[in-house]
Amino acid sequence: MSQPNIDQLCINTIRTLSIDAVQQANSGHPGAPMGLAPVVYSLWQSFLRYDPADPLWPNRDRFVLSAGHASMLLYSTLHLAGVRAVNKNGEVQKELSVPMDEIKRFRQLGSRTPGHPESHITTGVETTTGPLGQGIANSVGMAIASKWLAANFNQPGFDLFNFRVYSVCGDGDLMEGVGGEAASLAGHLALSNLCWIYDNNRVTLDGPASWSFSEDMMTRFVGYGWNVTRVADANDLVQLSRAYKTFLNTTDKPTLIVVDSHIGYGSPHKQDSYEAHGEPLGEEEVKLVKRNYGWPEDAKFLVPDGVYQQFQNGVGARGNEERTKWNALFAEYAKKFPELAARLSKMQRRELPDGWNKNLPNFPADPKGMATRESSGKVLNALAQNIPWLVGGSADLAKSNKTNLVFEGAGDFFTNEYKGRNIHFGVREHGMGAAANGLTLTGLRGFSATFFNFSDYMRASMRLAALMEIPVLFIFTHDSIGVGEDGPTHQPVEQLAAFRAMPNMLVFRPGDANEVTESYKVAIQHTHGPSTLVFSRQPMPTIDRTKYAPASGVARGAYVLADADGGKPEVILMGTGTELQHCVAAYEKLKAEGIKARVVSMPCWEIFDEQDAAYKESVLPAGVTARVSIEMAATLGWDRYVGAKGKIIGMRSFGASAPLKDLLPKFGFGPDFVVIAAKQLLGK
Q: Counting Cβ atoms within 10 Å, is residue 18 exposed (0-12), middle (13-18) or buried (19+)?
A: buried
Composition of the chain by helix, strand, coil, percent to 5: 45, 15, 40
- Which H/E stretch holds residue 627? strand 627-634
Q: Considering only CA atoms, which of 499, 489, 441 is closest in space to residue 468?
A: 441
Same domain, 374 and 418: yes
Q: What φ, ψ does residue 518 adopt, rounded to 5°?
A: -65, -35
Same domain, 504 and 646: no
Q: Considering only CA atoms, which of 542, 233, 499, 506 is closest in space to residue 368?
A: 542
Quick one: pLDDT at residue 274?
39
Q: Is residue 335 part of a domain?
A: no
Same domain, 452 and 407: yes
CB distance 681 to 628 below 8 Å: yes
Q: Say how far apart CA 584 and CA 590 lie, in whole Å.
A: 10
CATH number of the domain encompassing residue 658: 3.40.50.920
Q: Is residue 546 part of a domain?
A: no
Which of 321, 350, 379 is a domain's end point?
A: 321
Q: Is 246 left (phi over 0), alpha (psi -120 to 50) or beta?
A: alpha
297-345 per-position pLDDT tens digit: 999 999 999 999 999 999 999 999 999 999 999 999 999 999 999 999 9
Same domain, 462 and 573: no
Residues 6 or more apart whose CB falls under 8 angstroms from that of 266 comprise: 285, 287, 288, 289, 290, 291, 292
Q: Is residue 349 part of a domain?
A: no
Reduced to 3 states (helix: H, G, I; strand: E, B; else coil), residue 128 is: coil
Question: What range does the domain containing 407 cover?
Answer: 366-541
Parts of the chain with a pLDDT under 70: 1-4, 263-278
Q: Is residue 344 part of a domain?
A: no
Quick one: pLDDT at residue 262?
75
Q: How many domains does the chain have?
A: 3
Same domain, 77 and 114: yes
Same domain, 619 and 477: no
CATH number of the domain encompassing residue 463: 3.40.50.970
Strand order in the sheet with 571-575: 559-562, 597-601, 571-575, 627-634, 647-651
Q: Say how far apart CA 568 and CA 109 lie, in whole Å.
A: 50
Q: Say how far apart CA 570 and CA 564 lie, in whole Å.
A: 8
CB distance 196 to 167 below 8 Å: yes
Same domain, 15 and 159: yes
Strand order in the sheet with 165-170: 62-65, 165-170, 194-200, 255-260, 227-231
Same domain, 95 and 25: yes
- Per-position DSSP letters for 661-672, written without gaps between them: HHHHHHHT-SHH
Q: Is residue 407 part of a domain?
A: yes
Report the DSSP pairing between strands 539-542 and 366-371. antiparallel
- Name the pTM for this structure: 0.96
Q: Is residue 251 part of a domain?
A: yes
Which of 487, 516, 541 is a domain's end point?
A: 541
CB distance 628 to 642 below 8 Å: yes
Same domain, 628 and 516: no
Beta bridge partners of 573: 599, 628
Q: Say how far apart CA 123 and CA 102 lie, in whole Å.
A: 13
> In 10 A of CB 333, how many CB atoms?
20
Q: Is residue 430 part of a domain?
A: yes
Q: Is residue 347 part of a domain?
A: no
> In 10 A of CB 339, how many CB atoms?
7
Same domain, 204 and 231: yes
Same domain, 518 and 568: no
427-441 per-position pLDDT tens digit: 999 999 999 999 999
* Residues noted as catalytic: 429
Same domain, 299 and 431: no
